[in-house]
């Protein structure tokens, strides 16, 4: 791989993966930060990622819950952050997965990302599992009620302090999972169940270092699925991968989707 271009070896590997998908589907995609870098969102744990370079200073769940000033700061910055998120668009990698889903070849997309770009690209909500939540939502930490951020701000944005939950009076925060916050049980159970049933698990843009989310591909592999990994940099499951590409996410997904769709549709054309 060089400058976002696939090598001949990459394309051969993706051609072989195409045949595996058509023979052994359903396909499930498991995505991490690497799929969104072409949308201008920095990687997290990659070579130059926010975590690796020390650029990220995340607020822990405990800090948010115990420090009123942190909650005030979050609330003051929320409108600007929402506007910035609106300006980030899905890239060709997100759209390639949507094409596979619409053709009935991608059963589900399970993502660690909180950017909402899969949903914005057109991934059907019923086929999307956002393990770490979504920045475009607000959730009550007590009762779990969820709102779209734009709707919540439309009702309460005139306040100088964050409102208590309109349902139970609890503390509200971004609908994402902060460090130290328990994972959403239902989403995790659903992801594990999907992994146990899939024939091909395609990991894209994840180092697979963050658990329990990273257990999803491992569960699929243990259940007999083909494990394919497309990532720039090592991952925790490289030794177990049936297909491993050191390649950029968007070009790899665009090429793979084109090959899968072409070969999937060819028999129908030939029978006409």
Quick one: DSSP state of residue 30?
Answer: E
* Calpha distance 182→188 (Å, rounded): 11
Give the C-alpha separation, 81 to 79, whole Å: 5
Rounded distance, CA 211 to CA 70, Å? Answer: 26
> Partners of 106 in the beta sheet?
27
Strand arrangement of the beta sheet that strand 128-130 belongs to: 128-130, 106-111, 27-31, 200-204, 226-230, 243-245
Residues forming the active site: 132
The whole-angstrom separation of Cα 224 and Cα 232 is: 25
In sequence order, which residues have a C-beta less than 8 Å from that of residue 186 and are 6 or more positions away?
none
Q: Which residue has the tokens 């499951």?
A: 237
Collapsing DSSP to helix, strand or coil, 35 comes out as: helix
Instruction: Report the C-alpha gap between 186 and 264 in whole angstroms.
Output: 33
Q: What is the enclosing helix (H) or strand (E) of 13? A: helix 8-24
């Amino acid at each position: 791989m060089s400058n976002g271009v696939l090598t001949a070896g990459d394309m051969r590997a993706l051609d072989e993966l195409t045949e595996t998908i058509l023979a052994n589907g359903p396909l499930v995609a498991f995505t991490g930060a690497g799929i969104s870098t072409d949308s201008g969102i920095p990687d997290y744990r990659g070579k130059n990622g926010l975590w690796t370079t020390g650029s990220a200073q995340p607020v822990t769940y405990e800090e948010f819950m115990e420090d009123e000033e942190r909650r005030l700061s979050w609330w003051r910055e929320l409108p600007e952050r929402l506007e910035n998120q609106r300006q980030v668009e899905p890239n060709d990698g997100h759209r390639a997965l949507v094409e596979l889903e619409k053709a009935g070849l991608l059963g589900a997309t399970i993502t660690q990302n909180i950017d909402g770009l899969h949903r914005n690209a057109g991934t059907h909500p019923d086929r999307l599992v956002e393990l770490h939540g979504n920045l475009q939502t607000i959730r009550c930490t007590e009762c779990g009620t969820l709102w779209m951020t734009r709707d919540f701000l439309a009702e309460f944005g005139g306040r100088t302090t964050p409102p208590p939950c309109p349902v139970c009076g609890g503390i509200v925060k971004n609908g994402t999972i902060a460090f130290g916050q328990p994972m959403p049980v239902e989403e995790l159970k659903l992801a594990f169940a999907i992994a146990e049933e899939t024939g091909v698990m395609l990991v894209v843009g994840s180092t697979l270092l963050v658990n329990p989310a990273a257990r999803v591909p491992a569960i699929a592999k243990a259940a007999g699925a083909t494990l394919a990994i497309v990532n720039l940099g090592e991952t925790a499951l490289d030794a177990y991968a049936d297909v491993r590409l050191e390649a950029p996410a968007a070009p790899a997904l665009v090429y793979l989707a084109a090959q899968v769709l072409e070969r999937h549709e060819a028999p129908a054309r030939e029978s006409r």
